[in-house]
């Protein structure tokens, strides 16, 4: 029998995770709170929320390990997909609003700017994880699914490096994200080593 938490948990988290999108749409439609550089604001907000949701997703397993909670694991796929969704918005804002889909310039940026390279790799990793997250993909991949989805740790590291290489402001943000990421990954790796 489903508890109240089971019935309300997923819809509530779904709506909460959609709030940054609603806020972004409202900002664009109203033309307010976009600052002096609206494109940069939209890129920053979408990238920031992708990283927040990725960190929240990664926190769910340590919560189980440290606190013995299991209920939150049902939210993992949805939150991971939301992280990928905001990363996609981040990439589209950059390709469309910043570069105007000028593919020669995109290629130049991709190979000439390390921050763009690692950001693209992180986004690509999230795309692969998203495409392999449905139950049908889990069944098809079988035992290969779990090792593939451990790529999420590499994706998180690449995302933090992407932020760090953006400049002075990015370095300060990345330090905070890096500390959070280490705190989230240590219990997970400790569990993996213990299992061996």
Question: Cβ-count burial of 66 within 10 angstroms (0-12 exposed, 13-18 middle, 19+ buried)?
Answer: exposed
- pLDDT level of residue 71 (50, 70, 90 thresholds): low
How many whole angstroms separate alpha carbon 127 and alpha carbon 85? 9
Higher pLDDT, 147 or 86: 86
**Region 35-64: what's the mean pLDDT?**
88
Q: Is the sign of the CA dihedral 4, 68, 18, 141 positive or negative? A: negative
pTM: 0.87
* Residue 192 confidence (pLDDT): 60
How many whole angstroms separate alpha carbon 140 and alpha carbon 137? 5
Sketch the domain layout of the chain as residue ranges: 4-195
Tens of pLDDT along 135-174? 898 899 899 988 888 899 899 999 999 988 876 666 677 7
**Region 24-34: what's the mean pLDDT?**
88
What the block records as the tokens of 77 is 């796929």
* Residue 1 confidence (pLDDT): 47
How many whole angstroms separate alpha carbon 10 and alpha carbon 12? 5
What the block records as the tokens of 114 is 């390390």
Could you tell me which of 141, 156, 19, 16 has the C-alpha nearest to residue 75? 16
């Amino acid at each position: 029998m489903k508890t109240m938490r089971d019935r309300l948990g997923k819809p509530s988290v779904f709506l909460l995770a959609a709030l940054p999108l609603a806020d972004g749409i409202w900002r664009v439609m109203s033309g307010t709170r976009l600052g002096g550089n609206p494109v940069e604001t939209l890129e920053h907000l979408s990238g920031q929320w992708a990283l927040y949701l990725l960190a929240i997703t990664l926190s769910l397993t340590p919560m189980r390990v440290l606190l013995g909670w299991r209920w939150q694991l049902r939210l993992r796929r949805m939150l991971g997909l939301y992280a990928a969704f905001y990363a996609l918005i981040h990439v589209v804002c950059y390709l469309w609003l910043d570069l105007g889909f000028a593919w020669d310039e995109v290629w130049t940026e991709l190979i000439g700017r390390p921050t763009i390279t690692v950001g693209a790799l992180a986004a690509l990793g999230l795309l692969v994880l998203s495409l392999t997250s449905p139950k049908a993909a889990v069944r098809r991949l079988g035992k290969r699914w779990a090792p593939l989805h451990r790529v999420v740790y590499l994706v998180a590291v690449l995302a933090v490096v992407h932020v760090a290489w953006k400049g002075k402001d990015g370095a300060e943000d990345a330090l905070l994200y890096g500390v959070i990421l280490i705190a989230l990954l240590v219990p997970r790796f400790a569990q993996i080593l213990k299992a061996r």
